[in-house]
Chains A and B, each alone.
Chain A
């Protein structure tokens, strides 16, 4: 995605949080989170389940009561006046929250009315959104007749109908088939091109990589790193990462692999040994033959290029899916 150049001033802030914290009993869901989201950017909160992404989104959309800290959306205190805050935000939650009692058209129309559009304005805005999101043919359909992808698209259409300053999407493509996911990415890119500020949470690193201008990597409620995907990969990336799934004397294998030319680091992990490489050519064969020589039973070799996934592994020592 577009990189901010050194010459341009950073855009004004759409979201700012300071020491934002949420406890659920003993569980610290969000831990002193400081975030700045600029106007016009797609900002990704990336992390595994339970990292605190959705709680953060909930805090910024008046669905979660903060334990401490502050948050502002477009300069408005996010915890003070829901009536002011909610005029500024559009939300696409994780589950399908479309109004089952209403048609596709009426879902949009009544949403417009909630936000103060006159009947005439709401009808015009509804027609516009239906066309923009290619839902016009489905206008009269009941919403439970929509496929997952179309329902998600309608939820996005509804969330932006009142021209919010910030659009929140909580795990927008989780549960979507690959085709619908790509279609939704296109929708989000179009919104981004039109200047929409977007904050999305995701546990798909390729989604964060493909869509986001900047990504905040979260784990255990804390911010581990925040930058453009390219900068994150340059800073924390590891070239290539090979995970050898094996059984046997893994500690000895890790030590032995560490001596191989081209290996930066080899550590044992739950499933075997993880090897960070500075170069790649011929390394897989060298690693496998070393393992065989040591009598270690290799079941699988997984190779990962420097991605946000390897960045995450570097930062946490864990896989995103773990």
Chain B
């Protein structure tokens, strides 16, 4: 077989590793779809269909809440898929079978192998976010009024996807299988509940301490970003959102890659 330069071999391996993950996704799409769709579907159903129907409106004018919630649900769905789609397979591959030892034999530096995992996770995350839109179209009792800013949406969505997948890389290389309940019970659940998905960050003003505390929650920036991309509701300045997302991504991915290396090399 022809030997390739390090760069060429790495790039080929990167694409093939992503290809492998997407092939697995294709084969397991029947499990993937319900897992990804169910949570946003239930959220939208309860908050934008059941509540208005039984007269328990939240957030004043109903359609405005539905629209607001839509952005939050896209953000949550992507966060969940990023963490699950990367962390769960990684925990499994790092598990007692050490399946990861096969993946790291691909001719590339270890960080490229890890980056391929983030890339395929990000693609799945984008897909998961996209699936929320038809739900928003059909489920709410009243119409959702999206005002899409395409420039923001098309730059923000990939950034959010990579950030969420980097979260998965960070957790997947830090936790072991037996610690997964801790990851989801103690870390992921608070992040999702306190991620400003049901209300804009500015609305937290009366609870000042919470408003400050959620600044360290990456999901808050996802949700505020999608509010900027999809609605006319108030949101944090984009000059804060973009740098915050880049910073989260950099720190999580860098730490994740280091942990990845430390797990496979001794």
Is A162 in contact with B1, judged by CB distance below 8 angstroms? yes
Q: How far is the CA of A88 from the CA of B1 in the complex (A)?
A: 10
Is B6 in contact with A81, judged by CB distance below 8 angstroms? yes
Chain A residue numbers with a CB within 8 Å of B98 are 93, 95, 97
Per-residue CB proximity of B83-102 to A under 8 Å, as 1/0? 00000010010001111111
Chain B residue numbers with a CB within 8 Å of A62 are 265
Q: Is A100 an interface residue (CB 8 A)?
A: yes
How many A-B pairs fall under 8 Å by CB?
112
Given the known interface contacts A97-B98, A110-B16, A163-B1, the answer about A63 and B10 at a Cβ–Cβ threshold of 8 Å is no
Chain B residue numbers with a CB within 8 Å of A63 are 101, 104, 264-266
* Segment of A111-119, A177-185, A190-198 in the binding face: A111-119
Is A83 in contact with B10, judged by CB distance below 8 angstroms? yes
Chain B residue numbers with a CB within 8 Å of A158 are 102
Per-residue CB proximity of B10-53 to A under 8 Å, as 1/0? 10110011011001100110000000000000000000000000
Q: Tell me how far the C-beta of A172 lies from the nearest C-beta in chain B, rounded to whole angstroms.
A: 15
Q: Is B106 an interface residue (CB 8 A)?
A: yes
Q: How far is the CA of A162 from the CA of B102 in the complex (A)?
A: 14
Given the known interface contacts A63-B266, A64-B266, A110-B16, the answer about A100 and B97 at a Cβ–Cβ threshold of 8 Å is yes
Which residue from A82, A88, A163 sits with its C-beta under 8 Å from B109?
A82
Q: How far is the CA of A163 from the CA of B107 in the complex (A)?
A: 13
Q: Tell me how far the C-beta of B157 lies from the nearest C-beta in chain A, rounded to whole angstroms.
A: 27
Given the known interface contacts A24-B266, A87-B107, A116-B9, the answer about A98 and B23 at a Cβ–Cβ threshold of 8 Å is no
Q: Is A99 an interface residue (CB 8 A)?
A: yes
Is A114 in contact with B10, judged by CB distance below 8 angstroms? no
Per-residue CB proximity of A69-101 to B under 8 Å, as 1/0? 000000000000111111111110101111111
Chain B residue numbers with a CB within 8 Å of A111 are 102
Q: How far is the CA of A95 from the CA of B265 in the complex (A)?
A: 16
Q: Is A35 an interface residue (CB 8 A)?
A: no
Q: Which of B1, B97, B100 has the most CB of A within 10 A?
A: B1
Please provide the 8 A-B residue pairs with the shortest distance between their CB atoms, ordered closest to farther. A83-B6, A113-B16, A86-B107, A114-B106, A97-B102, A116-B12, A110-B20, A101-B24
Which B residues fall within an 8 A CB radius of A?
Answer: 1-4, 6-10, 12-13, 16-17, 19-20, 23-24, 27-28, 89, 92, 96-102, 104-110, 112, 264-266
Q: List 12 A-B contacts (CB under 8 A).
A: A61-B105, A63-B104, A82-B107, A83-B6, A83-B9, A83-B109, A84-B9, A86-B107, A97-B102, A99-B99, A102-B24, A110-B23
